Each structure stands twice: as structure tokens, then as C-alpha cells.
Homo-oligomer: A and B are copies of this chain.
Amino acid sequence: MNIGEAAAASGVSAKMIRYYESILLLPAAGRRDSGYRDYGEEDVHRLSFVRRARDLGFSIEQIRSLLALWTDTGRSNADVRAIARTHLREMEEQARKLAAMIGTLKTLIGSCETGKRSACPIIEELGDHRPAPAAPVKPRRRAA
């Protein structure tokens, strides 16, 4: 099958398939006389694997490792788990930060709701930390 069909079958766009091939995430596809790339069951299978991994938020480099483990029949589950755990920690950290941002925003929106005109804390909070020397300013040799 050609790249368009492989794309439809795997859920990875043709653009992305070519890109993945170019960065050597995927082996170079076979070619027909016309120059068209030719894909088989196995290829679609691998593409689907990549698609699922991307959906789970794995980076290309992580997927590269996972693919190697997948292909390598001698891989150990421990190796796979290690990659997954690392990624899990990253995602949990990301979730933590996101939750904090959401909390702050909710608070601000809530206060703004009840506040009167021109006292919206979203604006005030963002802008009015004036006394802020804020950052560890290395004095530079005087100036200002």
C-alpha cells in the first residue's frame, strides 16, 4: 500500500511518516518503480505503535527507545518500565504545575467575580507587585 493508505490505516499523517523516516525513527520504506513508498502490515503495525506512544505523550526520543526495545526480542521488561516510569514522573510533574496554575487562576477569577470594577485581581495580581526587586539582581557595576 502507498503512504496515504498507510497513513489512514495507522493514524499517522503521510507528512509525519516521511518525517519519521527522515529522522531515522522508522526504517526507510521500500519503493516501487515509480518511486512511491510501499508499506505492508508490519509497517502499519509499527506506525500504529508510534501513534499510540505519541498519544501517551512520549517524546520522539523516548519512542525511539521503546521501538528498539519492541524490536529487540531480548529486551527486558525492566528497560521498558524504566522508560515508562521516567515519562510518568515527567507527566506527573507537569500535572502538578498545571494544577497549581489552574488553582491560582480560579482564585483570581473568583475574586474578580465578586470585586467591583477596576479592582479585578487578575489584573492587580499580575501587575501590582511593584515593590518587587523580585529577582536576585547581581549588582553589575553600578548604573541605572
Contact = CB atoms under 8 A, between A and B. Distances in A.
Nearest to A56: B101
Interface residues of A, number: 73
Contacts of A14: 144
Contacts of A98: 57, 91, 94-95, 98
A118 interface: yes
Contacts of A2: 143
B11 A134 contact: yes
Contact of A144 (B1, B84, B117): B1
Given A91-B101, A144-B13, A1 B137 contact: yes
Contacts of A117: 76-77
